[in-house]
C-alpha cells in the first residue's frame, strides 16, 4: 500500500511504495532536506524537539530526527535540527579548509558533474522533442503571398525542402508496426541508486558501439554525445563502451542553483577479475553493511564480477540500502519504470518540471533554448515522460510514454499529443526555410527534416491507459540515423539563424531572373564554405546557385585518376560561380598529362556545364571553357 510522507522542511509529500522503507533516511526531491521516513500520525502535531538518544525508535547514526507531523499547508515551518546532525554537516562543508580551497574543490566537483547533464540534455532534446524547438522557438510570420511564394533569402534552401503531404488524415498502413515489440526484457530498476532520482538514462553501449552496426552509424550522426559517453565511462569506471553490456546513469537534483549528483551502474559483457576492479575503486571502507570503496568524492560498490555501482561518497549509505531494497524516486518516475524494457538500446525517463527548474545551471547556453522548448512542447499536463528506442534488424522502434498530472485525464492528453505531433511538421517547415547553411550536404538533410518528421508522425500509433499515454512508432531502420542527423544539423544551424528577421517577398522585377547565357550566369555571386565537401556535392551546390545543370563525366574522371568524392576545402564571400569552379579545377591540373587535367565544357544550346578531362574533351571534340578569362 502506498504511503505519503510530508517533508518536514517544505511540506512536499513523498510517495513510498512499500512500508518496508519506513525507518530509513530519505531526501526530499524538492528541497533536498534529509530526514527519517516515519509514518505520519493520525492527527497533526506541533513540531517537537527530538527525543534523547536511546529513547523510542532506533535511528541510524548521523540522522536528523524530527517528530512525525504534517505541516500546515499555508506556510510550513522548518523542523529544528538535532545537535547530532551539526558535526557531519560541518565536516561536509569543510570549515577547517580555507575558503579558496573550498571554492576550488567545489568548482572541480561541478565541472565533473556538468558534462553528465549535457549528455542527458542532448538525449532529451534530440530524442524526444528536438525538432519542436525549431518549429516553436520563433515561428516565422506567414508569407502574404500564396503558399508557393517563399523566398526569404536569395540563397535559402527552399528548393531542397521536401514538399509536405496534403492528405493529413489518411490512415497509414504501417507494416513495420505490425511486427510488434522487438524486445521482451525485464523492467528497469533503481538498484544501487540513492534516493531522489529524477532523470534515468539506461543504455546498452556494447551493442551501440558494435562495429558495422546500425548503432555505429547512429553514433556517427551524433558524435558529441558518443564522445561524451566514452569519456564518462573512462572517467568513472576505466571502461570502454564495448566492455559494457548495460549502463544506467541517474541524476539526483540538489537545491536550485546547483548541479545534480550523479549515480551510475554498469553491467559488464564478461566477468572481470576482482583485482582489476579494485585498481581504481579506491580504499575499502567497512562502515556500512556492504563493502564500499571510496576514491575522492566517489564511492563504489562491487556487486559481483560483472556489476559496478558508483555514487557521491556522501550518499554511500543510500547506495548500500538499495542493494536489497529500492529507494523511492520522484513523482511519476517509479510508475513509468514499471513500463520500461531493459533490452531497448536506450531508455530515458525524466520529470519535465525538474528539467525546466534546473536548466539554467545544468545545460550550456546554446542548449538551454532547445531543452526549454522541449519541455514546452510536452506541456504542463505531463508529470513524467519516458522515451526508448531500439534499432532492430529491419525496424527502428520508438516508444514515448507520457504520464498525465492529476486533474488531467489521459484521454485529454492523448488528443493534445496527437494534435501537437500532427502540427509539428508544418511549423517546422516554416522554420527550416529560414535557415541558410552554406554546405550543400547540410542544406539537403535539413531540407528533408520536415518531411521526415511528418513520416514519423504518420507512422505513430497512440493509445492510453488510466494514467498514461503511449506513442508507438515503427519506421525502417534508416529512420534512426536520418532523424538523428537531421535534428542535430538543424539544431546546430538554428544557433546561427536570425529567426526575428522578417521574410522578404519574391522579387517581382527582372532582378530575380536568371541570365540567359551561361557566360553571364558564371558571374552570379554566392557565398562558399566548403569544408571536406565531396566534389559532387560542391558541384551540386554551385549548380543550384546558378540555376544551371552541371554534370560530371564519371568515366572521364576515372580515366584521369579522379573520383567524385574528392574533398573541396575553400571559402569565399560573394564569390562568382566562375571563381568557385576555378578553385576546384586548379587542384587537378597537369599540362604534361592531358588525361590528368580537369576542365569544364559549356553547352549554351542545352544550358549545361560538364566536368570532364582535357583528354576526353579533345576525344569528343567538346569546347573547353577557359575559367581564367575575365
What is residue 323's three-state secondary structure? coil
Same domain (yes/no): 521, 607: yes
Nearest to residue 425, comparing CAs of 455, 463, 402, 398? 455
**In a domain? residue 434:** yes
- Residues 497 and 519 grouped into a single domain: no
Residue 602 near residue 609, CB atoms below 8 Å: yes
Residue 171 within a domain: yes
Based on the fold, state whether residues 481 and 533 are members of the same structural domain.
Answer: no
Distance CA 373, CA 471 (A): 20
**In-domain check, residue 375:** no
3-state secondary structure of 350: strand
Same domain, 503 and 519: no
In a domain, 542, yes or no: yes
Looking at the fold, whether 149 and 53 belong to one and the same domain comes out as no
pLDDT given at position 176 = 65
* Same domain flag for 14 and 56: yes
How confident is the model at residue 20, as a pLDDT? 63
In a domain, 382, yes or no: no
Q: Are residues 523 and 500 in the same domain?
A: no
Judgement on whether residues 562 and 471 belong to the same structural domain of the protein? no
Domain membership flag for residue 156:
yes
Residue where a domain terminates, one of 454, 487, 507: 507
Question: Domain ends where: 507, 540, 565?
Answer: 507
Domain count, the chain: 3
Q: Do both 575 and 493 map to the same domain?
A: no
Domain that holds residue 41: 1-96
Positions in the chain whose pLDDT score sits under 50: 42-115, 117-118, 122, 126-172, 503-511
Residues 479 and 503 in one domain: yes
Q: Where among 55, 81, 96 does a domain terminate?
A: 96
Would you state the pLDDT for residue 501?
59
* Chain segment 16-60, per-residue pLDDT in tens: 766 666 766 677 777 767 777 776 654 333 333 333 333 333 333
Q: Residue 567 sits in a domain of what CATH number?
A: 3.55.50.30
Determine how many CB atoms are found less than 10 A away from the CB of residue 566.
16
Do 402 and 435 fall into the same domain? Answer: yes
* Co-location of 526 and 482 in the same domain: no
Q: Write the secondary structure of 568-607 as one string of H (helix), E (strand) and C (coil).
A: EEEEEEEEEHHHHHHHHHHHHCCCCCHHHCEEEEEECCCC
Q: Is residue 606 assigned to a domain?
A: yes
Residue 27, classed as helix, strand or coil, is strand
Task: Please indicate, yes or no, if residue 8 is contained in any of the structural domains.
Answer: yes
Amino acid at each position: 500500500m502506498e504511503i505519503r510522507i510530508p517533508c518536514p522542511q517544505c511540506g512536499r509529500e513523498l510517495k513510498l511504495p512499500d512500508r518496508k522503507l519506513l525507518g530509513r533516511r530519505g531526501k526530499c526531491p524538492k528541497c533536498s532536506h534529509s530526514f527519517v521516513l516515519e509514518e505520519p500520525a493520525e492527527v497533526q502535531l506541533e513540531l517537537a524537539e527530538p527525543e534523547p538518544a536511546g529513547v523510542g525508535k532506533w535511528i541510524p547514526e548521523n540522522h536528523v530526527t524530527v517528530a512525525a507531523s504534517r505541516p500546515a499547508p499555508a506556510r510550513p515551518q522548518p523542523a529544528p535540527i538535532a545537535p547530532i546532525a551539526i558535526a557531519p554537516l560541518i565536516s561536509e562543508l569543510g570549515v577547517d579548509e580555507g575558503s579558496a580551497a573550498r571554492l576550488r574543490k567545489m568548482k572541480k566537483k561541478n565541472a565533473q558533474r556538468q558534462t553528465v547533464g549535457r549528455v542527458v540534455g542532448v538525449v532529451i532534446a534530440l530524442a524526444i522533442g528536438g525538432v519542436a524547438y525549431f518549429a516553436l522557438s520563433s515561428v516565422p510570420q506567414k508569407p502574404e503571398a500564396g503558399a508557393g511564394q517563399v523566398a526569404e533569402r536569395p540563397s535559402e534552401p527552399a528548393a531542397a525542402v521536401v514538399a509536405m503531404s496534403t492528405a493529413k488524415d489518411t490512415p497509414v498502413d504501417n507494416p513495420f508496426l505490425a511486427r510488434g515489440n522487438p524486445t521482451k526484457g525485464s523492467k528497469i530498476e533503481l538498484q544501487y541508486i540513492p534516493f531522489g532520482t529524477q532523470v534515468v538514462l539506461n543504455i546498452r553501449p556494447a551493442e551501440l558501439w558494435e562495429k558495422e552496426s546500425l548503432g555505429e552509424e547512429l553514433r556517427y550522426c551524433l558524435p558529441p554525445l558518443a564522445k561524451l559517453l566514452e569519456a564518462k565511462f573512462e572517467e568513472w569506471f576505466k571502461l570502454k563502451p564495448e566492455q559494457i553490456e548495460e549502463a544506467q546513469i541517474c541524476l539526483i537534483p540538489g537545491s536550485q542553483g546547483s548541479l545534480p549528483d550523479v549515480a551510475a551502474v554498469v553491467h559488464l559483457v564478461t566477468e572481470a577479475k576482482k583485482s582489476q576492479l579494485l585498481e581504481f575503486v579506491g580504499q575499502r571502507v567497512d562502515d556500512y553493511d556492504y563493502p564500499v570503496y571510496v576514491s575522492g568524492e566517489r564511492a563504489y560498490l562491487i556487486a559481483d564480477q560483472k556489476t559496478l555501482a558508483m555514487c557521491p561518497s556522501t550518499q554511500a549509505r543510500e547506495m548500500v540500502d538499495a542493494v536489497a531494497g529500492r529507494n523511492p524516486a520522484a513523482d511519476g518516475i517509479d510508475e513509468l519504470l514499471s513500463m520500461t524494457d531493459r533490452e531497448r538500446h536506450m531508455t530515458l525517463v525524466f520529470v519535465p518540471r525538474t528539467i525546466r527548474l534546473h536548466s539554467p545551471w545544468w545545460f550550456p547556453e546554446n542548449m538551454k533554448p532547445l531543452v526549454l522548448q522541449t519541455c514546452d512542447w510536452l506541456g504542463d499536463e505531463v508529470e513524467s515522460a519516458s522515451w526508448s528506442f531500439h534499432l532492430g534488424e529491419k525496424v527502428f522502434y520508438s516508444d514515448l510514454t507520457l504520464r498525465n498530472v492529476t486533474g488531467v485525464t489521459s484521454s485529454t492528453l492523448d488528443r493534445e499529443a496527437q494534435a501537437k505531433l500532427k502540427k509539428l511538421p508544418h511549423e517546422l517547415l516554416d522554420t527550416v526555410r529560414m535557415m541558410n547553411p552554406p554546405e550543400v550536404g547540410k542544406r539537403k538533410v535539413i531540407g528533408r527534416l520536415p518531411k521526415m518528421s511528418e513520416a514519423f508522425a504518420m507512422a505513430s500509433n497512440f493509445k492510453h491507459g488510466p494514467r498514461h499515454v503511449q506513442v508507438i512508432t515503427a519506421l525502417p531502420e534508416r529512420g534512426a540515423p536520418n532523424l538523428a542527423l537531421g535534428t542535430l544539423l538543424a539544431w546546430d544551424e538554428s544557433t546561427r539563424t536570425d529567426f526575428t528577421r522578417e521574410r522578404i517577398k519574391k522579387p517581382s522585377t527582372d532582378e530575380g531572373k536568371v541570365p540567359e547565357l551561361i557566360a553571364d550566369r558564371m558571374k552570379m555571386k554566392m557565398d562558399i564554405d566548403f569544408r571536406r565537401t565531396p566534389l559532387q556535392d560542391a558541384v551540386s551546390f554551385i549548380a543550384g546557385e546558378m540555376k544551371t545543370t552541371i554534370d560530371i563525366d564519371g568515366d572521364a574522371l576515372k580515366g584521369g585518376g579522379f573520383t567524385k568524392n574528392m574533398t573541396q576545402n575553400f571559402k569565399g564571400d560573394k564569390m562568382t560561380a566562375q571563381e568557385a569552379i576555378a578553385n576546384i579545377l586548379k587542384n587537378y591540373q597537369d599540362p604534361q598529362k592531358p588525361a590528368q587535367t580537369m576542365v569544364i565544357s559549356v553547352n549554351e544550346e542545352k544550358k549545361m556545364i560538364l566536368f570532364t578531362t582535357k583528354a576526353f574533351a579533345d576525344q569528343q571534340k567538346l569546347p573547353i571553357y577557359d575559367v581564367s578569362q575575365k
